[in-house]
A and B are shown apart, each in its own frame.
Chain A
Amino acid sequence: MRCFYCGEEIGESTGCPLCGAQQQVYRRILIASDAAYNVGVHRANGRDLSGAIEVLNLSLKYNKYNTNARNLLGLCFFEIGETVLALREWVISKNLQPDDNGADAYLEELEKSGTLKKLDQTTRKFNQALSYCRQGSRDLARIQLRRVLSADPKMVKAHQLLALVCMQDGKYAEAKKSLTAAAKIDYSNPMTMEYMQNVLRTLKGKGKRRRRRGQDNIDFSESTENVTVPSGTAFHILDSTGSGIINVFVGILLGVLACVFLIMPSMRQEMNSDAASALVNANEEAANSKNNVATLEKQVETLTAELEEYTGKADVKTSYEELLATEEAIASGDMETAKRTSGDINRDLLDASGQARYDIVMASVDAQITADNYEAGVAAMKDEDYAKAVELLTQVVEADAAYDTGNALFYLAQSCENAEKYREALDYYQAFIDGYPSTRRASTARSSINKIVADTNLAAPVPAAEREDEEGTAEGEAETPAEEQNG
């Protein structure tokens, strides 16, 4: 033990050997402090927290260095929801005794996992509720206090304030609940006890007044309301214990009837309506699908037709390749190859310059083809294969009617005559005569025409000059009636 005045170690002596200060009073103060602390422990164990706080404060008034008393005081404050007061005691305790202090664990517990922050928020809500009460907004205060108590069920002040508000609003049953909860935390709290007495007195008085009226009324202490119902009413009869089971059966029966007659028809109707809607939607989709199919089929036909135009013809790359091959074949004089490769070229896929080159190439190829056809056609005539001669020479004449100064046309006419295609022969002979009237073969053609007309009784072909005259006359006759009408 140390001297209270100079701090010198004094052991068990009554006076300080250094400063001479007497230690008896000091020792008594320490004993008193410890005694108060012991009482505080006893009360805290018995949940008399208000009593424990009182004596622990006394203990610290004797000796502020009583660390155990201060730490216990902090615990009591924490238990009733006074977090900051608890924090205060533990911090002071830590300052007065930095080493080997139990307050370290309490402070660490507060700091971890945001406990202090949550408690601080709860404190703010309580203060807000108190403010609502002072403003007269007891409903808001009640709501806020319920939130506070859900966050911190041990806040005694919140229970007490809620009880006060409930009492003011006449809700004594709810007030009693709050006060009961507060008493469980701190049973000897003077305010809690006072309020509880008031509540019990009020509730008791109400019961007496009902009995004084001579009625055996029923008092429903609900959570929010006190309902008083006079006895002997139908409600009382229905609510008596004996008829409880009957009430249950009646309720079930009514529920079943309500389902059968009210709920199920509407459910069935709704289901039917849903089914009908689904059916309508399905039909619409089917109709749309049919339309889509018809449209798609038309598109397929169109695209197929377009594709057929390209059938047998090469794509862009191949067309250019074949064009080059054709040009090379022509340059080397290989007309057979040129004819073959030119057939694979798709002119439409070529660009403008490609098409120009294609036209040049094809002019050469066509000229070669015409020459070959003419030679083959003449050869066929000589071989008396007139059908083949007609086919080949027709191609020549179609490509160039004046080929070989009209001889192709003349040979075609002869081939047709020999092939007994007299109408075509007459036309071709006449065409030759029209083109080359002064030649020797024209005379031959006239003779052939006369012979055919005489043998077949076919109408003689009309010379071109006469046809033009006839066309001019027909146009003039057609105009005259219109002029007469206008006139």
Chain B
Amino acid sequence: MIDFEEELKKFQPIPEVKEAEATIYERDLTDMVDIIRQVTQQQMTQQMAAPDMVRM
């Protein structure tokens, strides 16, 4: 049986056009490429700090 109040909570107001700018800025654009970039950067930093370590 569907609970009306519980189901109603699942409905959120749809953003209006005036809120489009905020919606765009809130969008998290971090993707996996950014993550591997960060990982690669960390690795390179570590390698430079410890040149004796084996490179990947």
Contact = CB atoms under 8 A, between A and B. Distances in A.
B32 A62 contact: yes
Contacts of A191: 10
B8 interface: yes
B20 A84 contact: yes
Interface in A70-100: 81-85, 87-88, 91-92
Given A5-B37, A126-B14, A134-B8, A85 B2 contact: no
Contacts of A4: 33, 36-37, 40
A316 interface: no
B10 to A, nearest CB: 7
Contacts, number: 97
A5 B40 contact: yes
Contacts of B40: 4-5, 21-22
B17 interface: yes
A22 B56 contact: yes
Interface residues of A, number: 45
Nearest to A96: B29
B14 to A, nearest CB: 5
Q: Say whether chain A's binding surface is mostly helix, strand, loop, or mixed.
A: helix
Nearest to B18: A120
A215 interface: no
Nearest to A22: B56
Nearest to A117: B17
Contacts of A20: 44, 55
Nearest to B39: A25
A370 interface: no
**CB-CB nearest 6 A-B residue pairs:** A84-B15, A64-B31, A127-B13, A120-B17, A168-B4, A123-B14
16 contacts: A19-B44, A22-B40, A61-B32, A62-B32, A63-B33, A64-B31, A83-B14, A84-B15, A88-B20, A88-B23, A88-B24, A120-B17, A123-B16, A126-B13, A161-B11, A198-B1
